[in-house]
Chains A and B, each alone.
Chain A
Amino acid sequence: MKKLIAGLVAAVLPLAATAAYPDRPVKLIVPWAAGGDTDNIFRPFAPLLQKHLGGTVVIANIGGASGTKGAKEAKDSPADGYTLYAVHDYIHSTYWTGVADVNYTDFEPICMLSSTASVLTASPKTPWHSLKDLIADAKKRPGQITVGATLGSTSHFFPALIEKTAGVKFKYVSYEGLAPRMNAILGGHVDLTDSNLTQKGKVEAGQLKFLGIATEKRNPEMKDVPTLKEQGINVVYDVNRGLMAPKGTPAAILGKLESSCQAAAKEPEFAKAMKLQGTDVRYMERKQYVSWLKKNDRLNQDLAKDLGLLKR
């Protein structure tokens, strides 16, 4: 009898929930500090999503533990569509490097939004003018050049790929999120970090150096930044961001979220905001995103293994 009631309730609840969804504010968990790159991408997105969803969307920055603190919080939140989660490729890398038990399969993917190319960035206090200088120096002093990174996340994988390709050894220091990393690199407390074209202004002001962008071709926005590939290091790397909800979120709500996400991502305003963030809009609907995630997860597993970071 109990089971039957539970079943009935379970069947009716989603209907009841969707009837008025959203009838209270939707919380969007950004698992990093305010002012970081993920935050910068989802902040302009939130009001657009709000517009198409027809309910308030509030951003909650829950940083810490390589972004897994926010991920855990999102995972443990009720699957009622009132908690969303701003994810990027770190969900795979932190899983395979053993930072956290949270995996992408703990969530219902909604849509992919954007893709940001990584740029290898050096402190102004370093002597290097190009990737070649850096690699020559790194060969002379293995394990001494410091890299500010979120351990086990994309900002760790990207320099690690360069490390492996060039046959050098860096030393990693934990700086979570782009904003604290920028403080550290501007002050010269770390030598290198992963950043992106959002830091263009600081490069033009001579406060930072871009050593190379991890794309196939140079970016039209900043033509004088050479690619890593043309400097002999064949590394192409970008960070892809999307929207997820806790596992078990009713299909009707997911559908509503997906269509709102699509409409929001297609707004010219979003494209404009992303351009400022050195980011390409890369919209993928739910189905496509799911299969992309599956592929990306395997890729990250291989990568973790190759880099000697695999802990599973």
Chain B
Amino acid sequence: MYELLGEAVANIVQLKYLVPLFLGTLAGVIGGALPGVTITMTIIVVLPFTFGLDPLQGLAAMTGVYVGGSAGGLVTAVLLGIPGTPSAIATTFDGHPMAKKGEPGRALWLGIWASFFGGLLGAIFLIGATGPLASIALEFGPWEFFSLFVLALSMVAGLVEASLLKGLIAGALGLIVTVLGADPVMGQERLTLGIPFIKGGIDFLPVLIGVFAFAQVMGEIERPGSEVAKSLGYAKSLAVSHAKVVWEILSRPFQLLWVAFIGLLIGVLPAIGGSAASMMAYDQAKKFSRRPERFGSGIPEGIIASEASNNANVGGSLVTIMAFGIPGDAVTAVMLGALTIHGIQSGPLFISQHPKIAYGIFAAYLLAHPLMVLILAVGARWMLRIVSVPKAALFPIVLVLCVVGAYALNNTMGNVYVLLAFGVLGYLMVKFGFPLAPFILGVILGDQIEINLVRSIMTDANLWLFVTRPISGLLLAASVVSLVAAMWQHRRTQKKIDAAVEADF
């Protein structure tokens, strides 16, 4: 394994891979830093550029975006108090106060180095656990997969922000999208209204692009003024002693390990994004702290918790996609699409059949971290310039790239129309307060739930198998627990409506 990893690292440092990795990380850092541009949006924009590359080059670029994006959000979060991506929300709690107190450099670099170490812990897990998890995944029959997807779907309940009902409706709408077109087993047409285009069913990538990029950009455009053009008088000097900052992080090894663990865990579970990871890690760090009352006043623990966990989260998501072939969030869903475009089937056999690419992704993930540190070291100050680019210039470019990306998926106009239709739907959903995350989760998982249900029943008509097969039973029990917990939490937050976790995909 280490030999393979060594080879992969040696392979990836070739210019041919290093350049896309670097550009991807750079795009990720910038996209992450721009408020209103999420990591998902950035990766969607990068996607069409990867079609012409070889698979590993494309995936290296995307891994870079993912890692860079998870870190880039902290720049704006710390210096402006605006989360560049939803996964940096928790970073604003302590990062911005610290910066305002006259230590912007310390706050920024605490975040960057915490991202670095959190990411490396994620890498250890990614490299060590993907193989064993893949062999476990191979043991998963249709029952287990069905239950796993149901568990993922049950987590929708935890993702809904304000209204449980609206969240469930959004999830159901997503599932309906997967029912459109020919059924997966015998090709029976469903809900096609006789329209030939719908007969073929609807791909999830254009839907995702429509809902997440198009609809969100529309929402951003409507927002008046540019909040980012604030003066940055206090951020004159970002100079800081790196040794001191690194020591500040490493002298809290248990906290670092614990928040990285939370990030990983949330990453491995399908459907929950980095924002949940950083919020939860922040919450945990506060609970375990000897001075919980100081959280929010600008202390290092808060920054470390948020940033270490959201980068570890990336490692966790990559495990899920590589071992199970299930996208952990919208970003990995795009990566899954990219794999398919390059003719690679992700799933339990991925590592054994494509060791070069699998280890290449590991190596890219490892190397993206030092690159991210380098980019931020050089560019943190410039980043603030980019952040103040007028939306009128930025968003049209994003929109055009979205359309290009949707067209390039299959070289059909059909997908562009799908993008438009779902862009409008997504926009309306946002307008009327329907959360997007459950919707897209329904779209991603619906097909898989259906086909695995059909397969299990075709294999054995005994429905009790879903409960009596241990792994499947456990997963279903976990779904019930997750639902109940979400409902309980929902009631609690209803009572004291505070900054809710925003789903970041």
Chain A contacts to B: CB under 8 angstroms: 25, 27, 33-36, 39, 43, 58-62, 64-66, 68-69, 72-73, 76, 94, 99-100, 146, 151-152, 171-176, 179, 182-184, 186-187, 189-190
How distant is the Cα of A124 from the Cα of B185 in the complex, in angstroms? 26
A8, chain B: closest CB distance, angstroms = 27
Does A65 contact B183, Cβ atoms closer than 8 Å?
A: yes
Task: Find chain A residues with CB under 8 A from B353 CB.
Answer: 35
Known: A33-B345, A65-B185. A187 touches B141 (CB 8 A): yes
Closest to B455 in A: A173
How many pairs of A and B residues are in contact by the CB < 8 Å rule? 96
Does B200 contact A73, Cβ atoms closer than 8 Å?
A: yes
Task: Find chain A residues with CB under 8 A from B181 CB.
Answer: 69
Does B187 contact A65, Cβ atoms closer than 8 Å?
A: yes
* Given A35-B353, A65-B182, A65-B184, 17 extra CB contacts under 8 A: A27-B410, A34-B339, A34-B340, A60-B410, A65-B185, A68-B187, A69-B182, A69-B201, A73-B200, A76-B196, A171-B459, A172-B458, A174-B455, A179-B345, A187-B141, A189-B142, A189-B459
A26, chain B: closest CB distance, angstroms = 9
How distant is the Cα of A33 from the Cα of B343 in the complex, in angstroms? 8
Q: Which 4 A-B pairs have the closest CB atoms?
A: A65-B187, A35-B345, A189-B141, A65-B182
Closest to B342 in A: A34
Task: Find chain B residues with CB under 8 A from A182 CB.
Answer: 349
Task: Find chain B residues with CB under 8 A from A100 CB.
Answer: 187
A186, chain B: closest CB distance, angstroms = 6
Known: A146-B459, A174-B451, A183-B347. A25 touches B411 (CB 8 A): yes
Within 8 Å by CB of A64, from B141, B184, B340, B345, lies B184
Known: A66-B186, A173-B455, A174-B458. A35 touches B343 (CB 8 A): yes
A291, chain B: closest CB distance, angstroms = 28
How distant is the Cα of A100 from the Cα of B349 in the complex, in angstroms? 31
Task: Find chain B residues with CB under 8 A from A187 CB.
Answer: 138-141, 348
What's the dominant secondary structure at chain A's contact region?
mixed
Task: Find chain A residues with CB under 8 A from B454 CB.
Answer: 174
Task: Find chain A residues with CB under 8 A from B185 CB.
Answer: 65-66, 151, 174
Task: Find chain B residues with CB under 8 A from A186 CB.
Answer: 138, 348-349
8 contacts between A and B (CB under 8 A): A35-B344, A60-B411, A65-B182, A65-B184, A66-B185, A69-B181, A174-B458, A189-B141
Closest to A179 in B: B345
Task: Find chain B residues with CB under 8 A from A152 CB.
Answer: 186
Task: Find chain A residues with CB under 8 A from B412 CB.
Answer: 27, 60
B343, chain A: closest CB distance, angstroms = 4
Does B182 contact A34, Cβ atoms closer than 8 Å?
A: no
Kindly supply a per-residue 1/0 record for chain B positions 333-362, scoring 1 wherever the CB is within 8 Å of any chain A CB and 0 otherwise.
000000110111101110001000000000
Task: Find chain B residues with CB under 8 A from A43 CB.
Answer: 343
Task: Find chain A residues with CB under 8 A from B196 CB.
Answer: 76
Task: Find chain A residues with CB under 8 A from B183 CB.
Answer: 65
Q: How many residues on chain B are close to A (CB under 8 Å)? A: 34
Taking CB atoms and an 8 Å cut-off, the chain B residues in 177-212 that contact chain A are 181-187, 196, 199-201
How distant is the Cα of A100 from the Cα of B353 in the complex, in angstroms? 33
Task: Find chain B residues with CB under 8 A from A76 CB.
Answer: 196
How distant is the Cα of A171 from the Cα of B457 in the complex, in angstroms? 11
Does B344 contact A64, Cβ atoms closer than 8 Å?
A: no
Within 8 Å by CB of A66, from B139, B187, B345, lies B187
Does B199 contact A151, Cβ atoms closer than 8 Å?
A: no
How distant is the Cα of A43 from the Cα of B340 in the complex, in angstroms? 13
A77, chain B: closest CB distance, angstroms = 8
Does A65 contact B345, Cβ atoms closer than 8 Å?
A: no
How distant is the Cα of A146 from the Cα of B183 in the complex, in angstroms? 22
Task: Find chain A residues with CB under 8 A from B200 CB.
Answer: 62, 69, 72-73
Kindly supply a per-residue 1/0 record for chain B positions 249-282, scoring 1 wherever the CB is within 8 Å of any chain A CB and 0 otherwise.
0000000000000000000000000000000000
A65, chain B: closest CB distance, angstroms = 3
Does A173 contact B201, Cβ atoms closer than 8 Å?
A: no
Does A61 contact B340, Cβ atoms closer than 8 Å?
A: yes
Within 8 Å by CB of B411, from A27, A151, A171, A184, lies A27
Does B349 contact A34, Cβ atoms closer than 8 Å?
A: no
How distant is the Cα of A182 from the Cα of B140 in the complex, in angstroms? 13
B196, chain A: closest CB distance, angstroms = 6
Task: Find chain A residues with CB under 8 A from B339 CB.
Answer: 34
How distant is the Cα of A189 from the Cα of B471 in the complex, in angstroms? 14
Task: Find chain B residues with CB under 8 A from A65 CB.
Answer: 182-187
How distant is the Cα of A100 from the Cα of B185 in the complex, in angstroms? 11
Task: Find chain A residues with CB under 8 A from B348 CB.
Answer: 183, 186-187
A30, chain B: closest CB distance, angstroms = 9
Question: Which of A34, A59, A60, A68 is most buried by chain B, counting CB atoms within 10 A of its CB?
Answer: A34
A58, chain B: closest CB distance, angstroms = 6
How distant is the Cα of A91 from the Cα of B345 in the complex, in angstroms? 24
How distant is the Cα of A34 from the Cα of B345 in the complex, in angstroms? 6
How distant is the Cα of A99 from the Cα of B139 in the complex, in angstroms? 31
How distant is the Cα of A59 from the Cα of B343 in the complex, in angstroms? 9
How distant is the Cα of A184 from the Cα of B139 in the complex, in angstroms? 9
How distant is the Cα of A182 from the Cα of B325 in the complex, in angstroms? 14
Closest to A75 in B: B196
How distant is the Cα of A87 from the Cα of B140 in the complex, in angstroms? 32
